[in-house]
Amino acid sequence: MAFRLGIDTGGTYTDAVIMNDQNKIVATFKSLTTRHDLTIGIGNAISGLPKEYLTDVTLIALSTTLTTNSVVEGHGAPVCVMLPGYTQSQVDKSGLMDMVSDDAALLMAGGHGATGDEAEPLDLDAAREFILEQRDKVSAFAISSMFGTRNASHEIQLRDLVNELSGKPVACGHELASSLGAPQRALTAVLNARMVPYIQKLINALKQIVGEHEIDAPLMIVKGDGSLVNTQTALLQPVATVLSGPAASVVGACALSGLKNAVVADMGGTTTDIAIVTDGKPELCSDGARVGDWQPMVEAVRIYAIGLGGDSEVAFSTSEGFAIGPRRVVPMCLLGKEYPWVKERLLHQLNAYPNARNNRFVMRLESNEEMLANLTPDEAYAWERLGEGPIELDAAVEENRHLARALARLQRAGLAIYSGFTPSDASHVLGLSDHWCKETAEIAAKIWANQLRNLYGMGTWPPGDALSPCKEVYELVIKKISHVLIESGLHQTGKMSGAKAKSLAGLLADLVLDGNKEESSNPLFKVDFASGYPLVAVGAPAASYYPSVAKKIGLDLHLPEHGNVANAVGAVMGSVVQRAHVTISQPTFGVFCLYHQGEPKRFSDLDKAVTCAEELVTDLATRLAQEAGAESIEISLSRSDNHIKHDIDGELFLDCEITATASGRPDCNVLDLPESPEACSA
Give the number of other CB atoms < 10 A from CB of residue 520: 11
Which residues lie closer than 8 Å to 660 by C-beta, 6 or more apart? 579, 580, 614, 617, 618, 620, 621, 622, 635, 636, 637
Cβ-contact 238, 195 below 8 angstroms: yes
pLDDT class of 195 with cuts at 50, 70, 90: confident
Question: Minimal CA–CA distance to 176: which of 194, 159, 192?
Answer: 192
Looking at the chain, the whole-number percentage of residues with pLDDT higher than 90 is 36
**What integer is the mean pLDDT of 381-385?**
95
Distance, in Å, from the CA atom of 400 to the CA atom of 382, rounded to the nearest integer, reads 11
Peptide bond into 674 cis (omega under 30): no
Above 70 in pLDDT, residue 293? no
Query: How far, in Å, CA of 639 to CA of 650, rounded?
Result: 21
Confidence class of residue 460 from pLDDT cuts 50, 70 and 90?
A: confident
More confident of the two residues 612 and 97: 612
Please report the pLDDT score of residue 273 as a whole number. Answer: 86
Which is more confident, 296 or 455?
455
Please tell me the predicted confidence (pLDDT) of residue 619: 93
**Secondary structure (3-state) at 268:** coil
Nearest to 41 by CA among 410, 312, 338: 338
pLDDT at 260 over 90: no
| Cβ-proximal residues to 86 (8 Å cutoff; 6+ apart), any chain | 107, 111, 144, 146, 182, 186
pLDDT beyond 70 at 556:
yes
pLDDT digits (tens, 9 = 90+) for 366-380: 877 778 888 999 999
Q: What is the mean pLDDT of the chain?
A: 84
Q: How does strand 140-143 pair with strand 601-603?
A: unpaired
Residue 617 pLDDT: 92
pLDDT at 39: 87
Q: Please, what sign has the CA dihedral across residues 78, 330, 16, 50?
A: positive
Residue 682: what pLDDT? 29
Q: Which residues of 640-652 are buried (b: 16+ CB within 10 A; e: fewer)?
A: eeeeeeeeeeeee
Q: Residue 231: CB partners within 8 Å, gap ≥ 6?
A: 203, 207, 219, 220, 221, 672, 675
Per-residue pLDDT of 500-514, as tens digits, reads 666 676 777 677 666
- Output b/e per residue, 141-165; b: 16+ Cβ within 10 A: bbbbbbbbbbbbbbbbbbbebbbeb
CB 635 within 8 A of CB 679: no
* Residue 603 pLDDT class (50, 70, 90 cuts): very high
Rg of the chain over Cα atoms, rounded to whole angstroms, equals 26
DSSP state of 118: B
Residue 364, classed as helix, strand or coil, is strand
Which neighbouring-strand residues pair with 63? 8
Q: What confidence tens digit (pLDDT) does each residue in 84-141 have?
A: 998 888 888 777 777 787 788 899 999 888 888 888 999 999 999 999 999 888 888 9
More confident residue, 188 or 422: 422
C-alpha count within 13 angstroms, C-beta hemisphere, residue 305: 35
Strand segments (E) across 409-527: 416-420
What pLDDT score was predicted for residue 592?
Answer: 93
* Largest pairwise CA distance in the chain: 84
Q: CB 25: neighbour CB atoms within 10 A?
A: 18
Cβ-based neighbours of 93, under 8 Å, separated by 6 or more: 183
Q: Is 119 exposed, middle or buried (0-12, 13-18, 19+ CB in 10 A)?
A: middle
What global pTM score does this model have? 0.76
- Pairing, β 272-278 against β 281-282: antiparallel
Is pLDDT at 285 greater than 90 in this prediction?
Answer: no
Mean pLDDT of 137-158: 88
Judged against a pLDDT cut of 50, whether residue 432 lies above it is answered with: yes
Residues 130 and 80 sit within 8 Å (Cβ to Cβ): yes
Residue 262 near residue 252, CB atoms below 8 Å: no
Q: What is the mean pLDDT of residues 197-212?
A: 85
pLDDT of residue 515: 59
The Cα–Cα gap between 256 and 535 comes to 13
CB neighbour class for 454 (10 Å; exposed up to 12, middle 13-18, buried from 19): middle
DSSP assignment of 185-219 equals: HHHHHHHHHHHHHHHHHHHHHHHHHHHHTT----E
Reply yes or no on whether the pLDDT at 419 is more than 90: yes
Between residues 259 and 184, the one the model is more confident about = 259
> pLDDT (tens digit, 9 = 90+) per residue, 632-662?
899 999 998 988 876 665 678 888 989 999 9
Of 153-162, 321-330, 388-397, least confident by mean pLDDT is 321-330
- The DSSP line for 600-623 is PEEES-HHHHHHHHHHHHHHHHHH
Does position 674 have pLDDT exceeding 60, yes or no? no
Mean pLDDT computed over 280-305: 67
- CA separation for the pair 447, 359 (Å, rounded): 7
37 Cβ neighbours under 8 A, 6+ residues apart: 205, 367
3-state DSSP helix/strand/coil percent for the chain, to nearest 5? 40, 25, 35
Sheet order of strands, 79-84 included: 105-108, 79-84, 140-143, 170-172
Q: What is the DSSP letter of 245?
A: H
Bridge partners, 306 (sequence order):
272
Strand, helix or coil for residue 95: coil
Beta bridge partners of 578: 662
Q: Residue 30 — pLDDT band, cuts 50, 70, 90?
A: very high
